[in-house]
Amino acid sequence: MSQPERPRSSRRAPRSRLAWPLRLARSLPVRVVLVAAVTLAAFAYSNNGSWRARGKGEPLLLAHRGLAQTFGFEGITNETCTAERIHPPEHPHLENTLASMRAAFKAGADMVEFDVQVTRDRRIAVFHDATLECRTDGRGKVRDHTLAELRRLDIGYGYTADGGATHPFRGKGVGRMPALEQVLAAFPERNLLIHVKSDVAADGDLLAGRLATLPPKRLAALTVYGGDRPVAALAARLPAVQVMSKALMMDCLKRYLAVGWTGSVPDACAGLELHIPEKYGRWLWGWPNLFVERMRARGPRVIVVAGSGDFSEGFDAPADLSRLPEGYTGGVWTNRIDVVAPLLDR
């Protein structure tokens, strides 16, 4: 005995969103599909040639930590004490000091980067390391000391270029660790890049509270970058300040990779500063000059960093500058502003 026929459902089974393009492609002659693919590729290529950039001008020079002592990057890790492996000194300046920042601006820097740490008494000290043993004659974490205690330390104590046989800056760094307020007062109209050396949200909130007292014109010349949490906390309170963190930059660039071939810049990129390692920049639509121009139109400042960008490598020698493309007008990260600026007629 035959089974009764089941009633058919009035609802159609859901189909993939790609079903109709695939069916269309299968129905078209192969030649048409190939022509369309080639046409699209040609458009993407011609629309993203760096030569299409119309902007002119000089690159922006960013002096990392002011004018500082340099060191080799071979074998370096996050645990390396860089003060113990400096090159033989060619100038008298120590990183993150007022004197090093003045020297950097005098040498031709357009912008100076410096590092900040929060102290036990909720002040903001200008210092790179989270601990004191590498560079100073102090011990322990920066955040376990008051600003007054930190100011009594010798921040040049640990520097050596010969494995500890000599210490050329020992005794010359006492009282030279500045507070954030001192830097802002010393350079009231200069472009400054503030690096929050933690991933603690409260540190970003504290910094935002200090900067919130400044007039809009001054805030426009400041940029803050660092850990995802403190930068997000600061951006929530001070949306007018240009910022950068790894999370924000990756979100911007992932979206740009998807749509940048059309010439569009995603909203996620607006108001950021982008630190682009030269090793990876070539994968970005329009790199370098057209990319810089597109981003500038939406607000982001583009800074190119040497190598892979892992350990603040910079364009520090004549050979490094030869890798910059002709007509480049973005930012250049350097650890030797005194060497690089004269080569660019600054």
Q: What is the pLDDT of residue 9?
A: 46
For residues 289 and 50, the answer to whether their CB atoms sit within 8 Å is yes
Q: Mapping DSSP to helix (H, G, I), strand (E, B) and coil, where does residue 6 land?
A: coil
For 126, residues 6+ apart whose C-beta sits below 8 A from its C-beta are 96, 97, 114, 115, 116, 177, 178, 179, 180, 182, 183
Residue type, 178: P
Distance CA 238, CA 221 (A): 13
Quick check: 26 pLDDT over 70?
no
Q: Which tokens belong to 305?
A: 């960093």
Q: What is the pLDDT of residue 56?
A: 77
Distance CA 330, CA 258 (A): 22
- Which residue in 294, 245, 292, 290 sits closest to 272, CA to CA? 245
Q: What is the pLDDT of residues 272-320, one digit of tens each?
A: 999 999 999 999 999 999 999 999 999 899 999 998 888 889 999 999 9
Quick check: 34 pLDDT over 70?
no
Cα of first residue to Cα of last residue in the chain, in angstroms, is 97
Q: What is the pLDDT of residue 10?
A: 47
Element (H, E) at 61: strand 60-64
Q: Region 129-150: what's the mean pLDDT?
A: 98
pTM, whole model, 2 decimals?
0.88
Distance CA 302, CA 291 (A): 9
Q: What is the pLDDT of residues 195-248, one digit of tens each?
A: 999 999 999 999 999 999 999 999 999 999 999 999 999 999 999 999 999 999
Q: How far is CA 303 from CA 111, 153, 277, 289, in A?
A: 11, 33, 8, 12
For residues 344 and 70, the answer to whether their CB atoms sit within 8 Å is no
Quick check: 28 pLDDT over 70?
no
- Which residue in 100, 85, 116 sits closest to 172, CA to CA? 100
- Which residue in 212, 229, 217 sits closest to 188, CA to CA? 217
Of residues 161 and 10, more confidence is placed in 161
Can you list the alpha helix ranges (DSSP code H) found in 16-107?
19-27, 30-47, 98-107
pLDDT band at 327 (very low <50, low <70, confident <90, very high): confident
pLDDT band at 183 (very low <50, low <70, confident <90, very high): very high
Torsion sign across C-alpha atoms 342, 300, 100, 198: negative
Mean of pLDDT over the chain:
91
Chain-centroid distance, C-alpha 6? 65
Give buried/exposed letters for 76-93 (b at 16+ CB in 10 A, else e).
eeeeeebbbbbeeeeeeb
Q: Which tokens belong to 258?
A: 């998807």
pLDDT band at 20 (very low <50, low <70, confident <90, very high): low
Q: Which tokens belong to 93?
A: 């300046």
Torsion sign across C-alpha atoms 170, 174, 177, 182: negative
